[in-house]
Amino acid sequence: MKRVDETVTIQENKRINGKYYKLVFKSARLARGVQAGQFLHVQIRPDAVDPFLRRPFSYYRIQHDRIEVLYEVLGRGTELLAGLGKGSHLKIMGPLGKAFTQQVRGKKRILVAGGVGVPPLVFLAEKNPVDYLLIGTKSRAEVLPKKELSKVRAEILHATNDGSYGVRGFVTALLEKIIQKEGAECLHIQTCGPAPMMNAVMDIAKREGIPGEASMEESMACGVGACLGCMVKTPEGWVPSCIEGPVFSFDRLVRTCA
């Protein structure tokens, strides 16, 4: 799949709930052959050097040449992005990175999502058979509107830290219940979200002997393996997440902290 770098025109850029903005633009080349788990590298102000570094964003949805990205305002770059309106321009490089395994034959697929890890897993669930989509957020204000999940043909379960939507607590509690219900031997887990959440998911998977994949949301300055700023430890040594990942099988990840 050939990587391209082109300037696009924003068609839509609006807040959709208490957490996410949705960015929409068109590009046939940036949409071609993309699979869930891959990402884009966005230069927010093509005509300026501030901010100097691009920002990585997961693909959220593709419809022909229409590309959607969900993002959260976390710093100066995304704050500037949220202020851009229809007709503004962005310079975008993609598609980048390795995707999630699309077909999981003979297994029931559980997706465990949290934070900025929700978009690529919704994309995966819209394009492939999925049995469960588990979404963890802090509160109801961060839950995606139902219309954003209308194409997902899976059982969708929510957990919120404050109990304002779905069950109270961490999303891993939902995962534990499904494992008890279905049996570990028939499951495959794919996860994306905050590091503590994914570490907890991988600990459960290791304990139960469940295979799976995690998308490592590391800071990516270049997106093409040149800067070595997004290194992830594997049994073979440290590798750049932007080109070796961001999706890794559980058995390729070595925990470097508790």
Specify the pLDDT at position 90.
Answer: 95
Tokens coding 159: 């957990």
Residues 196 and 205: beta-carbon distance below 8 Å: no
Fold of the CATH domain 4-96: Elongation Factor Tu (Ef-tu); domain 3 (2.40.30)
Classified as helix, coil or strand, 257 is: coil
Mean pLDDT in consecutive groups of 10 residues from the start of the chain, 258 residues = 90 93 97 95 79 86 96 88 95 95 91 92 95 95 92 95 94 97 96 94 97 86 77 90 92 72
- Establish whether domains 4-96 and 108-215 are of one fold: no
Nearest to 159 by CA among 145, 148, 143, 146: 143
The one-letter amino acid at 65: D
The domain defined by 108-215 carries CATH number 3.40.50.80: yes
How far apart are the C-alpha atoms of 176 and 236, rounded to whole Å?
Answer: 31
Specify the pLDDT at position 167.
Answer: 94
Specify the pLDDT at position 65.
Answer: 96
197 burial type by CB count under 10 A (0-12 exposed, 13-18 middle, 19+ buried): buried
Neighbours of 234 (CB within 10 A): 16
Specify the pLDDT at position 170.
Answer: 95
Nearest to 67 by CA among 46, 47, 38: 38
Question: Helices 195-208 and 171-182: crossing angle, nearest 10°?
Answer: 20
- 55: left (phi > 0), else alpha (psi -120 to 50), else beta? beta
Q: What is the side-by-side strand order in the sheet with 55-58?
A: 55-58, 39-43, 89-96, 4-15, 20-26, 66-72, 61-63
How far apart are the C-alpha atoms of 201 and 133, rounded to whole Å?
Answer: 14
Q: How do the domains of the chain map onto residue ranges?
A: 4-96, 108-215
Q: Which residue in this structure is represented by tokens 């890794």?
A: 248
Residues 73 and 83: beta-carbon distance below 8 Å: no
How far apart are the C-alpha atoms of 128 and 9, rounded to whole Å?
Answer: 29
Specify the pLDDT at position 227.
Answer: 80
Specify the pLDDT at position 155.
Answer: 96
